[in-house]
Amino acid sequence: SQTIHQWPATLVQPVGSPLSLECTVEGTSNPNLYWYRQAAGRGLQLLFYSVGIGQISSEVPQNLSASRPQDRQFILSSKKLLLSDSGFYLCAWNGLQTYEQYFGPGTRLTVT
Amino acid sequence: AQSVTQLDSQVPVFEEAPVELRCNYSSSVSVYLFWYVQYPNQGLQLLLKYLSGSTLVKGINGFEAEFNKSQTSFHLRKPSVHISDTAEYFCAVSHAGNNRKLIWGLGTSLAVNP
C-alpha cells in the first residue's frame, strides 16, 4: 500500500531563516506531487505541483520554492522566511489515471 | 474557470441528528467531485468521490453524497452524527486535462454537540 511522509511535524523558525520541508511517497511510481499551505485553520492554497522529476509548476508567486530531486521526493524551501509564511503545510499525491489526492500528516510552521 | 462554493462556513448540530453539508460547483466540462475530512492538526482524509456512474456515492464513516448535475451540487449527508464527526469538511472538484489538480472549497466546520 502507499504511504506519504512529511517531516518535520512541527517547526519554529525566526524571520529571515531558511526552510526545508520534505515529503516522500512510498509504494507508487511517477506520482503527481503537490504542496499546499493552510493558513488560520481554513482553506487550502496550492503552492506547487510536480508531474515528474525536475518538473515544478508554481501556482502562487512568493518567496518559497520547490524541488523534486527524486521520483517520490518533494521538497519545499525558502531562503528567508517571512512572518506570513506561518501555516500548516501539506503534501499530497495522486497516481496515474486517478484524480483523488492523498495527503501527508502535515508540518506546522511558526515563523517568529 | 472552475470554482467550488461551500455554502456554510459553520454547521452546529446535536449528536444523533442528521446533517447536510452543501457544496456547489461551476464548470463548463464534466467534473470529478470529492469530499475530504480534516481533524485538528492532521492531514486531509478522503471521505468519498464521484467519478462517473451512480449519482449517489457512499463513503467512509457513514457519509454519502449525491451528485446533481442540473443543480451543479454535491451535498454531503449523514443520517446520524457522532461527536467524533466534529471536524472540517472540504469539497473539491477536478476534470480531465487539469493535470489532476483539485479546486477546493473553503471548508465547512462541523461541530457536533452532546
**Residues A51, B45: C-beta atoms closer than 8 Å:** no
> How far is it, in rounded angstroms, from Cα B67 to Cα B57?
8
> How far is it, in rounded angstroms, from Cα B48 to Cα B62?
10
Backbone angles phi and psi of B80, in degrees to 5: -155, 110
Backbone angles phi and psi of B72, in degrees to 5: 45, 55
**Residues A99, B34: C-beta atoms closer than 8 Å:** yes
> How far is it, in rounded angstroms, from Cα A79 to Cα A81?
7
Please, what is the average pLDDT of chain B? Answer: 94
> Which residues of B lie inside 8 Å of A (Cβ-Cβ)?
32, 34, 36, 41-46, 49, 51, 88, 90, 94, 99-102, 104, 106-107
**Residues A99, B42: C-beta atoms closer than 8 Å:** no
Query: What confidence score (pLDDT) does residue A60 get?
Result: 82
* Among candidates A42, A98, A100 on the partner chain, residue whose Cβ is nearest the Cβ of B106: A42
Instruction: Please report which confidence band the pLDDT of residue B1 belongs to, taking 50, 70 and 90 as the band edges.
Output: confident
Amino acid identity of B37? V
**pLDDT tens column, B81-112:** 999 999 999 999 998 777 788 999 999 999 99
Query: What confidence score (pLDDT) does residue A41 get?
Result: 60
Query: What confidence score (pLDDT) does residue B81 get?
Result: 98
**pLDDT tens column, B57-67:** 999 999 999 99
* Among candidates A41, A51, A102 on the partner chain, residue whose Cβ is nearest the Cβ of B99: A51
**Residues A108, B41: C-beta atoms closer than 8 Å:** yes
- Asked whether B13 and B81 are in contact (CB, 8 A), the reply is yes
Which residues of chain B does A34 touch, with a Cβ-Cβ cutoff of 8 Å? 101
Which residues of chain B does A23 touch, with a Cβ-Cβ cutoff of 8 Å? none
Nearest CA in chain A to B31: A99
**Residues B101, A105: C-beta atoms closer than 8 Å:** no
> How far is it, in rounded angstroms, from Cα A93 to Cα A99?
10
Closest CA–CA distance from residue A78 to any residue of chain B (Å): 22
> How far is it, in rounded angstroms, from Cα B39 to Cα B111?
11
SS3 for B23-78 is EEEECCCCCEEEEEEECCCCCEEEEEEECCCCCEEECHHHCEEEEECCCCEEEEEE
Which residues of chain A does B57 touch, with a Cβ-Cβ cutoff of 8 Å? none
* Among candidates A43, A90, A94 on the partner chain, residue whose Cβ is nearest the Cβ of B107: A43
Mean pLDDT of successive 10-residue stretches along chain A, which has 112 residues = 94 97 95 92 87 92 91 97 94 89 96 96
